[in-house]
A = this chain, B = another copy of it.
Amino acid sequence: YYSTTAYPHVAQSSPEKDLRATAADLVVQLSTSLKTKPDVVDFGTVFTDHMLTVEWNANDGWQTPLIRPFGDLSLHPACSALHYAVELFEGLKVYRGDDKRLRLFRPLLNMERMSKSAERACLPAFDQSELLGCIKRLIEIDQDWVPHLGPACLYIRPTLIGTEPSLGVKKPNRALLYVIMCQAGSYFNTKLSLWADPKYTRAWKGGTGDCKMGGNYGGTLFAQLEAGSYGCQQVLWLYGEDHQITEGGTMNIFLHWINEDGDEELATPPLDGTILPGVTRQSILDLARKWDEFKVLERYLTMGQLCSALKQQRLKEMFGSGTACRVCHIGSIVYEEKNLQLPNQDEHSLSSRIATELTDIQVSR
């Protein structure tokens, strides 16, 4: 059912003229001094030995992909990514299965979303399967970095930045695509506490909230610090006069509840342009629809509806989803000077069931 991709299979398709660079052209420069692999680390701080870089310019298109020792980038100080956030990224994971094989989880969904982000950011399109081929080669080279134990895995961060060396605000004529990989560790350790205040907005109609562009994130740190001052770990982002629930931190949000009509329902906000189309979000919807045990709906959800459900004991569970955090139970929400305590997670909670099912798929049990 899931399009997990067996590994390693370097793409062998023929060169495409519009790409001017394929996985088959890849040049590899191996590192002469491999790093020691630490046991457990924070998310996103320890990187593997190699990285992938591909340069692009408007005249010549994509250049030869290069795998080289992990190291600093040399960038012009006027580069468009550093001034105007002409930049985007993706996040996906590679898992070591119980059968010892490595598998990427639904990587084509990431490649497709990356193409959409690139279009919105006015950065160059690239061939999705060729990029995936290059990433697979990078994983192969650094395969010892994929953890051997438990649900741990390696996080892969494709990044695309504008490198035009000019201060004009315009579509860049130069870009750099690069891929780095890091130990994933655990992103959130406990049940999450969220802070919901309509005074900050993450994304809005006519903006870029449905793309993984850098500009969606830098503006959120300030609100995250304020959440911390209320003893909360993340922001629950609201939208509009009716305080619609949109996302939590960098996660999509799900409610498992008895809806207003008395029906059991799993609900998440619809992809109306303000919501990031998460791969884990889509996978949860796919799974739940396959189970066909309760209603599965993409619908608007407001804080008023959540508070009513809580009061009438119709809320079963609230959880977030994302590649980094996977499935994450939400324990409480500070909202309008109240600290809402949400139903606890146990082994019968939907988030537990989903987490187990996703892991089984990812490690091929």
Chain A interface residues (CB < 8 Å from chain B): 42-45, 47, 51, 70-78, 80-87, 89, 119-122, 155, 157, 159, 161-162, 165-171, 178, 180, 182, 198-201, 204-208, 213-222, 224-225, 249-250
Contact = CB atoms under 8 A, between A and B. Distances in A.
A85 B215 CA distance: 5
Given A73-B75, A168-B42, A217 B182 contact: no
A85 B221 contact: no
Nearest to A187: B168
Q: For the complex formed by this chain, how many copies does it contain in all? A: 2
Contacts of A249: 169
A120 B223 CA distance: 9
B84 A217 contact: yes
A77 B72 contact: yes
A231 B362 CA distance: 50
A221 to B, nearest CB: 4
A183 to B, nearest CB: 10
Given A72-B75, A73-B75, A215-B219, 14 more contacts: A81-B81, A83-B214, A84-B218, A84-B221, A85-B214, A85-B217, A121-B222, A170-B221, A171-B221, A198-B206, A208-B219, A214-B214, A215-B215, A215-B218
Contact of A213 (B178, B205, B219): B219
Contacts of A71: 77
Contacts of A119: 222
23 contacts: A44-B78, A44-B166, A45-B168, A71-B77, A72-B76, A73-B74, A75-B75, A84-B214, A84-B217, A84-B218, A85-B87, A85-B214, A85-B215, A85-B216, A86-B217, A119-B222, A121-B221, A121-B222, A169-B221, A170-B224, A171-B225, A214-B215, A215-B217
A283 to B, nearest CB: 21
A296 B275 CA distance: 40
Contact of A77 (B73, B169, B214): B73
